[in-house]
Amino acid sequence: MGTNYYVTGPDIAELAGAETAGLHIGKKSAGWDFLFRAHPLLQLDSVAQWREFVASAGRAIVSEYHEVQDVNAFFEMATRRPADDPTVKTHIRTLSATATGYTYDMATRGVPFLACEFC
């Protein structure tokens, strides 16, 4: 069981292309740490860049179930690491750091990013 999250706003359709729900920010799956979606062409491949992007006027974070998220609570959840909760599995332990498209935001305690579509 998992939940995808999207950024919505007046200019997002132009940036998201075919993604009608908004621009995919990532997914939280039960028992796993949050996996951010990197968008290298939009220079969205770190938590700081996503925070800045979301802060633009009129933008919001929305779950795939159309629930608007509190931005601070969302980033607190999305950056929670296994050291904070040992029951959470991390992508860094299960996927090779050299796997295609995977990067880690070491400025934010190794938060994982994937630079391709996933659901």
DSSP letters, 37-67, are EPBGGGTB-SHHHHHHHHTSTT-EEEETTSP
Q: What is the pLDDT of residue 93?
A: 47
Which DSSP state fits 107? G
CB atoms within 10 A of CB 85: 9
Q: What is the pLDDT of residue 91?
A: 59
Q: What is the pLDDT of residue 111?
A: 74
Of 3, 24, 4, the C-alpha closest to 12 is 24
Q: What is the pLDDT of residue 50?
A: 96
| Residue ranges of the chain with per-residue pLDDT less than 70 | 16-21, 82-102, 104, 106, 109-110, 117-119
